[in-house]
């Protein structure tokens, strides 16, 4: 009799756990749906709006050559951007939306053989380029990672710094990706946004592919991040730095 009672209790608690789990999943889904609004898509947008900003279309692999263009150094001053990141040998850093690894390679040289650069991508073709780079001499500290649309897939408290260069404005799930980065940052770690300056009409980039500093700070305010400084030393981009307390 006692064993029948035990089975009935165990079935009831399993059912309860399943119902609670289902309820939680439904709540998370509902919160995510409320976070974003729909709008008629503009030419470069996906018709999804977050905090008043339409999300831009993702750059496909057909843009890979553009990421490696020779004029890029002059247009973006990659050397100045790397200096702004204040990287040190031995650091673990994440290049989220690494593309072909233009910045991952430069970061890899700064953090050195004892450091790590997680190069996170959602496009398998970009990932293959990163895997080839990681086999080249001097770049063995690059670790390509296949991320998800809503998660960078890094272990908790595993990195000192994360950077997104020309990426954040095209994330389909900006809130969720940023939350996953914050989880991956060690306490005191930095999150750095590098975006084409939306408030500068002279920057020759399509409007949805630029962001104002105000918009970046508005969206980051939803996360456990504290704004630290904004560098305006680059020709076209601003570097907006936050810290996980
Ligand atoms: C404009 S490219 C910039 C690439 C690189 N940061 C650079 O500056 O050379 C944007 C990249 O972000 C990637 N991306 C978009 N959504 C992503 C996500 N959720 N997680 C990781 N990468 C993503 C795209 O696949 C694309 O390669």
Query: Could you read off the pLDDT of 51-92 as tens digits, one per residue?
Result: 999 999 999 999 999 999 999 999 999 999 999 999 999 999
Query: Could you tell me if residue 45 is inside a domain?
Result: no
137 SS3 class: coil
- Within 6 Å (CB) of ligand 1, which residues are found? 58-59, 67, 96-99, 102-103, 120-123, 126, 147, 149, 165-167, 170-171, 177
Q: Identify whether residues 126 and 211 lie together within a single domain.
A: yes
Measured by CA distance, the residue closest to atom 24 of ligand 1 is 97
pLDDT tens digits along 2-17:
444 444 434 444 444 4
Question: pLDDT value at position 32?
Answer: 63
Q: Is this structure's pTM higher than 0.85? A: yes
Cβ of 29: how many Cβ atoms within 10 Å?
A: 10
169: left (phi over 0), alpha (psi -120 to 50) or beta: alpha
Q: Identify whether residues 21 and 105 lie together within a single domain.
A: no
Q: Are 109 and 134 in contact (CB under 8 A)?
A: no
Where does the chain have alpha helices with state H?
2-35, 64-67, 72-76, 78-85, 102-111, 124-134, 174-184, 213-220
What's the whole-number average pLDDT of the chain? 90
Give how many domains the chain has, as a whole number: 2
Q: Identify whether residues 61 and 8 lie together within a single domain.
A: no
**CATH number reported for the structural domain that contains residue 90 in this entry:** 3.40.50.150
Query: Could you tell me if residue 6 is inside a domain?
Result: yes
Query: Could you tell me if residue 77 is inside a domain?
Result: yes
Question: pLDDT value at position 29?
Answer: 46
Query: Could you tell me if residue 70 is inside a domain?
Result: yes
d(CA 112, CA 90) in angstroms, rounded, equals 6
Ligand 1 centroid from CA 164, angstroms: 8
Q: Are 110 and 81 in contact (CB under 8 A)?
A: no
Q: Identify whether residues 27 and 63 lie together within a single domain.
A: no
Computed on alpha carbons and rounded to an integer, the radius of gyration of the chain in Å comes to: 21
Q: How confident is the model at residue 215 (pLDDT cuts 50, 70, 90)?
A: very high
d(CA 158, CA 94) in angstroms, rounded, equals 10
d(CA 175, CA 186) in angstroms, rounded, equals 19
Q: Identify whether residues 179 and 92 lie together within a single domain.
A: yes
Boundaries of domain holding 174: 53-243
State yes or no: pLDDT of 23 exceeds 70: no
Query: Could you tell me if residue 130 is inside a domain?
Result: yes
Q: Choose which residue among 55, 68, 97, 104 to substitute to test ligand 1 binding: the one with the highest number of ligand atoms within 8 A of its C-beta.
A: 97
d(CA 202, CA 220) in angstroms, rounded, equals 25
Q: Identify whether residues 93 and 8 lie together within a single domain.
A: no
Q: Identify whether residues 28 and 81 lie together within a single domain.
A: no
Q: Identify whether residues 203 and 102 lie together within a single domain.
A: yes
d(CA 33, CA 94) in angstroms, rounded, equals 28
Measured by CA distance, the residue closest to atom 13 of ligand 1 is 97
Report the candidate in 56, 31, 14, 151 with the shortest Cα–Cα distance to residue 96.
Answer: 151
Q: Are 92 and 118 in contact (CB under 8 A)?
A: yes
Query: Could you tell me if residue 138 is inside a domain?
Result: yes
Question: pLDDT value at position 22?
Answer: 42
Query: Could you tell me if residue 192 is inside a domain?
Result: yes
Question: pLDDT value at position 33?
Answer: 64
């Amino acid at each position: 009799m006692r064993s029948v009672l035990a089975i009935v209790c165990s079935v009831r608690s399993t059912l309860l756990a399943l119902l609670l789990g289902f309820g939680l999943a439904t709540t998370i889904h509902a919160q995510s749906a409320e976070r974003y609004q729909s709008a008629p898509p503009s030419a470069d947008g996906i018709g999804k709006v977050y905090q008043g900003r339409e999300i831009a279309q993702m750059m496909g692999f057909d843009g890979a050559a553009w990421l490696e263009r020779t004029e890029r150094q002059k247009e973006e001053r990659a050397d100045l951007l790397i200096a702004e990141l204040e990287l040190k040998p031995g650091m673990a850093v994440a290049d989220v939306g690494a593309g072909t690894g233009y910045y991952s390679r430069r970061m890899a040289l700064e953090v050195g053989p004892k450091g790590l650069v997680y190069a996170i991508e959602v496009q398998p073709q970009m990932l293959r380029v990163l895997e080839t780079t990681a086999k080249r001499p001097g770049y063995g500290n690059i670790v390509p990672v296949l991320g998800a649309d809503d998660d960078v897939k890094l272990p908790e408290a595993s990195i000192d710094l994360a950077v997104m260069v020309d990426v954040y404005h095209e994330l389909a799930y900006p809130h969720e990706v940023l939350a996953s980065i914050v989880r991956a940052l060690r306490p005191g770690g930095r999150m750095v946004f590098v975006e084409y300056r939306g408030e500068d009409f002279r920057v020759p980039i399509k409007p949805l592919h630029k962001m104002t500093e105000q918009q970046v700070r508005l969206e980051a305010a939803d996360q456990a991040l504290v704004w630290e400084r904004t560098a305006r030393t680059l020709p076209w981009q601003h570097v907006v730095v936050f810290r996980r307390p």
